[in-house]
A and B are shown apart, each in its own frame.
Chain A
């Protein structure tokens, strides 16, 4: 998979390394901005109230 990506990137090794870095950063951004905020409520750290039924509606 990673080899395939590397082979399909344009330019010489330095350009490819730079593009790879940008790709990694883009993936991390998408994860932190969209994927993890969606996944985080599945963990038990949000339940701090004694009336979750009420809180859910807000």
Chain B
């Protein structure tokens, strides 16, 4: 083989490798976002369709919240009688509008039997969108579907609800995971959330307005305590209606997780229109 051939082949290999790397970066940074954005729009559209067909909440007429059954979730700790609707007595809690006692709960106590298809009217089916999240701090147009479960494939189509945690607005901890980077970057700005910022959830019948407490909290990847009903590190001391957001930290790494906690501040039926936190 002539030296000329060797040099040429080597050069071609280098050029090919470089092109591959560039293409891969384009794929990760751009194409996953394109795919995820269209998948999330699809999920949102399907959710709206389902809601407009009235598949949700025929039982829960807007504006008629029934008393939430206590011990709603199998994994809610047996703390002696969390009074429903008790505002989280955190120091500095704005408690502007008191949470209505008993957010409308169409979801009967979930049986935590893995693999068992939930009966009609129970919690949403795994992998299916059941709510929309709005975070004004991330931009006025920021609205992402929340899907049931936190599988890798699922998180490419929206935010994921930790299956064993509470329903939106229910006593306990409504925990949601999302991508910080790639796949639409839904939680790109999670570190910018500050105390008092609104995180609004719409589950088709009710707007739940949560308010962020404290600053984002950095923790280890295996710190499952952060999605406990009363997360130890959050500063909450009494059972309440909390929300936890988790994503990766640092932005482009996976050595840690970034956690944001919020408490339920207000609920309003969908019929009353968008809550104040979104129109402001």
What's the minimum C-beta distance from A42 to chain B, rounded to whole angstroms? 11
Cβ-defined contact, A50 with B32, below 8 A: no
Docked pose: A3 CA to B5 CA in angstroms: 11
Cβ-defined contact, A48 with B12, below 8 A: no
Cβ-defined contact, B152 with A39, below 8 A: no
**Number of chain B interface residues as a range:** 35 or more
Docked pose: A57 CA to B149 CA in angstroms: 11
Scan B164-192; emit 1 where CB is below 8 A from any A CB, else 0. 00000000000001111111000100000
A49 within 8 A of B: yes
Q: A45-B179, A47-B248, A49-B160 are in contact. Are A1 and B12 (CB under 8 A)?
A: yes
Q: A48-B155, A48-B246, A51-B150 are in contact. Are A32 and B31 (CB under 8 A)?
A: yes
**DSSP class of A's interface residues: helix, strand, loop or mixed?**
helix
B8 within 8 A of A: yes
Binds A, one of B19-27, B39-47, B74-82, B130-138: B19-27
Q: What residue in chain B is nearest A47 (Cβ atoms)? A: B254
Q: What residue in chain A is nearest B246 (Cβ atoms)? A: A50
B224 within 8 A of A: yes
Docked pose: A36 CA to B246 CA in angstroms: 26
Docked pose: A48 CA to B31 CA in angstroms: 19
What's the minimum C-beta distance from B41 to chain A, rounded to whole angstroms? 20
What's the minimum C-beta distance from B247 to chain A, rounded to whole angstroms? 5
Cβ-defined contact, B181 with A45, below 8 A: yes
Docked pose: A45 CA to B247 CA in angstroms: 10
Scan A1-31; emit 1 where CB is below 8 A from any B CB, else 0. 1110000000000000000000000001001
B243 within 8 A of A: no
Chain B residues positioned under 8 Å from A55 (CB to CB): 150-152
Cβ-defined contact, A32 with B27, below 8 A: yes
